[in-house]
Chains A and B, each alone.
Chain A
Amino acid sequence: MRRLLAVLTSSLVIGLGLVTLWGLFPGSPVASITAALLQMVVVIGAVAVLIGVLNLLGVHLRRIVKGDSGWPYSVVVLLAAVAVILLVVVDRMGLGGESDLGGFLFNAVQVSVESALAALLVFFLVYAAARLLRRRLAWGSLLFTVVLLVVLVGWLQIPALGAFNGLSEWIRAVPASAGARGLLIGVALGATTAGVRVLLGQDPSYRE
């Protein structure tokens, strides 16, 4: 029975995968099937958000019940989640008048907090670069730090450093962009081979 189920799952994955792929090519006769399948993915994605919210609430409820360290923060998370859900429901039902409470909360809390966190990133990265040199002194880390310094100093556009400014631009335009393309080509090749492997239906998750 288990083996039959595995064969059925594999066949379904291979079949639907190939149909979706074929439908993406121009003039494909199965384009409408592909569109329907992709539409299904959007619906599943929306349901997944609901499952995610339930998971979040479940994890924090468990922490409160077990009295794990930091459980008061979980109480705050639960209260905030319930309050935001209620506010959005009130908004959608038109009970809150013209005001967009959900949008206001998002901009006032989420956007501000994320902006503040983003500002902290710079310090974390500078600290990480310094730590890299101290801990992993290698040709790559030395080159990384030298290039970082050249690019940062070049960014200041100090008139006295005429040729240096040009070097900074050249680094960003030529070696940095070449390296970035190399990385992206590598990721694309890895994704292609892994994708074809999955399409062959030999993934362990189909069998177990």
Chain B
Amino acid sequence: MDPAISLLTVLVLLLTFVLLTLGSQVVRRQGRVKLPLRRIAAYQALPSVTSEAVESERPIHVSFGGSGLGAESTISALAVSDLLYPMAERAAIASRAPLITMSDPTSLGLAQGTLLRAYERRGKRANFHASAARWYPQGPRSLAMAAGVGVALAEEDATLSVAAGRFGPELAFIGEAAIRYDQMFFGHSDQLDGQAVAWVMSDAPLIGEELYMAGAYLPARPSALHLGQVLAQEGLRLLAIVAILLVAVVTLAQEFLMNPALLLGVLAAVLVISGLVVGGIFLLRRVRQRRGAR
């Protein structure tokens, strides 16, 4: 590792540690006061859809994709486990066990452990079956897994499908199967191609870092550390935005000083783009109003 990158890594880790500790302390001091978390549509919908699944005696499906322990996708596997736990806890009282799928065998134990904890928490250990977590053949672009999961979704008659973690374009198979069998679909991927597919196919997509916040959004009483993590994450996001803007402003200022004509060009481009955006929004509102009137 390059010494400069090493130093930067240490600094980022230290900053994260400080923000996380401060954030969780702030939450603890506040007691039970609810933090105004930003709205994430998928996390707003998931608890009620899971409850509907319990009432209709149909299973829920959560997929880890290619996320596994011991590789670079470790954290995304842990994040999916954070997302699975509160959902499994709700679904533990149902007669049908959740369906958990993955293509990395190292996440098989993680999924089974998470399910077992959820069942134990609800005092339903006897209902736990290790076979609720299913492994499908491995591969970074596991099309076979996606096709298999699609078939399983139809056979198990799941109410909703959450595919989060590491996916490529093969996520389209799972999404398509969910749509075809009238199931709600929530997608996410830490890979760009998978994320694009997830955004197009999901009823309410999770984007980028939102997956890692599941522990703060889904449980009825999230831990101070999970809420602290959200505060730290948002703080770091804000810092990254400010840093990017600063670099952009400084670079542009240097360019303008050397070439004032460029300033006029950029202003004209900003005006044109703003006009297009405003026009687009106006058009969209009209279309929506007409649809509403119908």
Q: Which residues of A contact B (CB under 8 A)?
A: 21, 24-26, 41-42, 44-45, 48-49, 51-53, 55-56, 58-59, 62, 68-70, 110, 113-114, 117-118, 121, 124-125, 127-129, 131-132, 137-139, 142-144, 180, 182-187, 189-198, 200, 202-205, 208
Residues of chain B within 8 A (CB-CB) of A26 are 1, 3, 6
Given A121-B172, A190-B233, 6 more A-B residue pairs with CB atoms under 8 Å apart are A51-B135, A53-B135, A114-B141, A125-B169, A125-B172, A196-B13
**Chain A residues closer than 8 Å to B113, beta-carbon distance:** 205
23 pairs of residues in contact across A and B, judged by CB atoms under 8 Å: A45-B70, A45-B71, A48-B68, A49-B105, A52-B105, A53-B135, A113-B143, A117-B146, A117-B173, A125-B197, A128-B197, A131-B179, A139-B284, A183-B192, A183-B208, A185-B240, A190-B211, A191-B76, A192-B236, A196-B13, A196-B20, A198-B78, A200-B20
Contact, CB under 8 Å: A194 / B121: no
Residues A125 and B108 in contact, CB atoms below 8 Å apart: no
A186 touches B237 (CB 8 A): yes
| Mask of B109-141 contacts with A, CB within 8 angstroms, 1/0 | 100011001001100000000110111111001
Q: Does B52 contact A (CB under 8 A)?
A: no
B280 to chain A, nearest CB (A): 7
Q: Which of B78, B117, B121, B208 contacts A186 (CB under 8 A)?
A: B208
Stretch at the interface among B55-63, B224-232, B249-257, B260-268: B224-232
Query: B40 CB to closest chain A CB, in angstroms?
Result: 12
Q: How far, in angstroms, from A121 to B147 measured CA to CA in the complex? A: 11
- B209 and A190 contacting across the interface, CB-CB below 8 Å: yes
Rounded to whole angstroms, the CA-CA distance of A183 and B147 in the bound complex is 27
Q: Are A124 and B138 in contact (CB under 8 A)?
A: no
Bound complex: CA A204 to CA B81 (Å): 11
The 9 lowest CB-CB distance pairs between A and B, nearest first, are A52-B105, A190-B209, A186-B208, A190-B212, A52-B135, A41-B70, A48-B105, A186-B209, A191-B75
User: A194 contacts B79, CB within 8 Å?
Assistant: yes
Contact B78 A193 (CB under 8 A): no
B37 to chain A: closest CB distance in Å? Answer: 14
A40: nearest residue on chain B (CB-CB)? B70
Please report the C-alpha to C-alpha distance between residue A183 and residue B198 in the assembled complex, in whole angstroms: 13
Task: Report the separation of the CA atoms of residues A62 and B106 in the bound assembly, to the nearest whole angstrom.
Answer: 22
Which range holds the interface residue count of chain B?
Answer: 35 or more
Q: Does B49 contact A (CB under 8 A)?
A: no
Nearest Cβ in chain A — how far from B75, in angstroms? 4
Are A114 and B144 within 8 A (Cβ)? yes
| Bound Cα distance A54, B173 (Å) | 25
Q: Are B233 and A55 in contact (CB under 8 A)?
A: no
Known contacts A129-B200, A197-B225; A44/B106 CB under 8 A:
yes
User: Are A193 and B212 in contact, CB atoms less than 8 angstroms apart?
Assistant: yes
- Cβ of B163 under 8 Å from chain A: no
B233 touches A189 (CB 8 A): yes
Interface centre among A186, A193, A198 (most CB of B within 10 A): A193
Question: B192–A128 contact, CB under 8 A?
Answer: no
Docked complex: B156-175 residues within 8 A CB-CB of A: 169-170, 172-173, 175
Q: Which of B185-232 contact A (CB under 8 A)?
A: 190, 192, 195, 197, 199-201, 207-213, 223, 225-226, 228-229, 232
Q: Which residues of B lie under 8 Å from residue A142 when comparing CB positions?
A: 280, 284
Bound together, the chains give a CA A125 to CA B201 distance in angstroms of: 8
Q: Which residues does chain B contribute within 8 Å of A180, judged by CB atoms?
A: 192
Q: Which residues of A contact B79 (CB under 8 A)?
A: 190, 194
A147 to B7, CA, bound (A): 39
**Known pairs A189-B209, A194-B212; A202 contacts B223 (CB<8 A):** yes
B109 in contact with A194 (CB, 8 Å): no
Closest to B157 in A: A69
Is the beta-carbon distance between B172 and A110 smaller than 8 angstroms?
A: no
